[in-house]
Amino acid sequence: MTKDKAKATELDPEETVVVRRHWNAWMTATVKLKHLQNLHWDDTSGGVNVRSPHVMMYGYIYCDQIVSGELNHSCAHGPGPHRIKVVVVQVDNPKPLIKRLKAQIAERIAEHERTRLPRPWDPFDYKHKEKAKTAI
């Protein structure tokens, strides 16, 4: 990756992002990027497991890390802070920030693919399937 491209995708940990508890929740909260953990693609929210209409960016925060706003979380089920799953909805955030967050997820997935151990048999390896058919 070139230095210019790396700088374009770099995230400032003090920058803020708007999150929701569920994709269609009316309540939003602002948190610092340094507190948004394990950003990933998913289609199910935390808590009551609300399904989103398509895959969206989800991550985790602690309920005491909200800078402003409010989320659908009561802290009633035990002493906090609680780790809660949140969704980053594109319409709530600036396009350049969304682009950088997507790039961060893509980098993490690419790194995982580079470092994962090879499988003894890959179910998506069509050459292997062809060899299996001719062996029978």
The span from the CA of 33 to the CA of 120, in Å, is: 38
The span from the CA of 73 to the CA of 64, in Å, is: 11
What is the pTM assigned to this prediction? 0.75
- Structure confidence by residue, pLDDT tens digits, 99-129: 999 999 998 888 877 776 666 655 555 555 5
- Structure confidence by residue, pLDDT tens digits, 7-59: 556 788 899 999 999 999 999 999 999 999 999 999 988 878 888 898 999 99
State which residues form the domain around 115. Answer: 3-135
The span from the CA of 4 to the CA of 6, in Å, is: 5
Q: Taking the CA of residue 124 as centre, how many other CA atoms within 13 Å lie in the half-sphere pointing to its CB?
A: 2
In DSSP terms, 83 is beta-bridged to: 62
Q: How confident is the model at residue 79 (pLDDT cuts 50, 70, 90)?
A: confident
Please give the helix or strand (H or E) that residue 5 lies within, else none.
Answer: helix 3-9
Task: Provide the number of structural domains found in the chain.
Answer: 1
